[in-house]
Amino acid sequence: MRIAIIGTGYVGLVSGACFSDFGHDVVCVDKDERKIAALEKGVMPIFEPGLDQLVARNVAGGRLSFTTDLKTGVDGAEAIFIAVGTPSRRGDGHADLSYVYGAAREIAEALTGPAVIVTKSTVPVGTGDEVERILREVAPEAEAWVVSNPEFLREGAAIEDFKRPDRIVVGAEDERAAEIMREVYRPLYLNKAPILFTSRRTSELIKYAANAFLATKITFINEIADLCEATGADVQDVSRGIGLDNRIGPKFLHAGPGYGGSCFPKDTLALLKTSEDYQTPLRIIEAVVQVNDSRKRAMGRKVLKALGGDPRGRTVALLGLTFKPNTDDMRDAPSLSIVQALEDASVKVHAFDPEGVEQARPMMPNVEFFDSPYKAAEGSDAAVIVTEWDVLRALDLKRLARLMARPVLVDLRNVYPPEDVEAAGLAWHGIGKPPRDGGADEDVSAAA
């Protein structure tokens, strides 16, 4: 089957590479000439484990190609996926759909035969209706159908998620379109991946509802972590205790500095704007967004408290900057709020991240970056684990303590047991655990 992917961002590139690995003939289209030129040379625009090898293998096999010419890309394609960005619109939080609608118009102008137009981008309810209206306006005689097929990819594990998905959701209003989508995903039948066919609007809402629910789980356990600190309980044991309940499950119940990335922040905001448009308030999601924003700011205060006394002129080493490991994505990363809080208090910031420095540098112009966690920590008054990269899971804590001006470790991911940290000569500060001195920590969940 011939497939065209419009957009070579995270979703488009991963989808195109995986579809080609299934044996489909895939063309990825993007207006960015430099990005396409780099892809043709095997240079990836994002960091995703295994993606460069997957792309190289399928380019060599003749199943995957790249172009800036949309008309050439969609020529003869039976399925055309729109995978362009839908960032939060400045000022109101609505999803910016200009790229989606622009792509739809260009596709309609370039159609040469029957095709299904698939919205892969995360879009609010009703977007498919507008895409269809554009299609009928521009190409009224075209034999084409509009389908919703949201992605559920985790950054850092996207290839595995695509090839072995929990489910495939397809929103189709026409049986012919549904049949084409069955053929697109036929290679996954061997993995017995369930395909859920719904109405188009239902499919669009499933994506937002799923991300909002996961964001709620993260925010819930973060507030429970604050209660644990105040009462002397251990949030990791609480997480295990409730996660063993099959109705709840253990995933997304790890206390930390708050969620970030490309999906949860913008999708929760877009869902709230949709609820406002339809006058159906989502009070739980409103609280999730507010608590998460407050928590990121509170993590900066937690680090300042760990410094003790007047923080001015001190140095803090941030270990890990991206919103999660195995990605270079810095969008809405908690580290951004922490850096802001530290710099507002006249604290100098050192930083290390194995993949995110290039993305972080323009966002953190006053931060000094280092190529190892030990160099970043040398001479610092506190080291802060912000992102749980594998390289930070087996640090030589004694070496870390020797290098630092003041041996203080603030573990915002609870990577290390407190007793191991203290045995290495470091003062420990973590998340959702009883304070080691027996006193209650401050309420870090309060708004800044």
Q: Which residues are catalytic?
A: 263
Q: How far apart are the first and last CA of the chain?
A: 54
* Edge-to-edge order in the sheet of strand 427-429: 368-369, 348-352, 315-319, 382-385, 408-411, 427-429
Instruction: Collapse the DSSP code of 319 into the 3-class scheme (helix H, G, I; strand E, B; otherwise coil) and give the result.
Output: strand
**Residue found by looking up tokens 């009928």 in the block:** 136
CA–CA separation, 379 and 393 (whole Å): 21
Q: Kindly state the tokens that stand for 164.
A: 């072995």
Please state, as a whole number, how many other Cβ atoms lie within 10 Å of the Cβ of residue 70: 20
Question: Which residues, in sequence order, are CB contacts of 21 under 8 Å at separation 6+?
Answer: 54, 57, 58, 63, 163
Question: Which residues, in sequence order, are CB contacts of 60 under 8 Å at separation 6+?
Answer: none
Contact 78, 115 (CB under 8 A): yes
- H/E stretch holding 429 reads strand 427-429
Closest to 172 in 3D by CA, of 193, 202, 143: 202
Residue 304: HSE in the Cβ half-sphere, 13 Å Cα cutoff = 22
Residues in the chain: 448
Contact 191, 164 (CB under 8 A): yes
Residue 191: HSE in the Cβ half-sphere, 13 Å Cα cutoff = 17
Q: Assign residue 379 a region: left if phi > 0, alpha if psi is -120 to 50, beta otherwise?
A: left
Instruction: Collapse the DSSP code of 263 into the 3-class scheme (helix H, G, I; strand E, B; otherwise coil) and give the result.
Output: coil
Question: Which residues, in sequence order, are CB contacts of 251 under 8 Å at separation 6+?
Answer: 217, 243
Q: Crossing angle, helix 283-307 and helix 334-344, to 10 degrees?
A: 50
DSSP state of 241: H
CA–CA separation, 315 and 386 (whole Å): 16
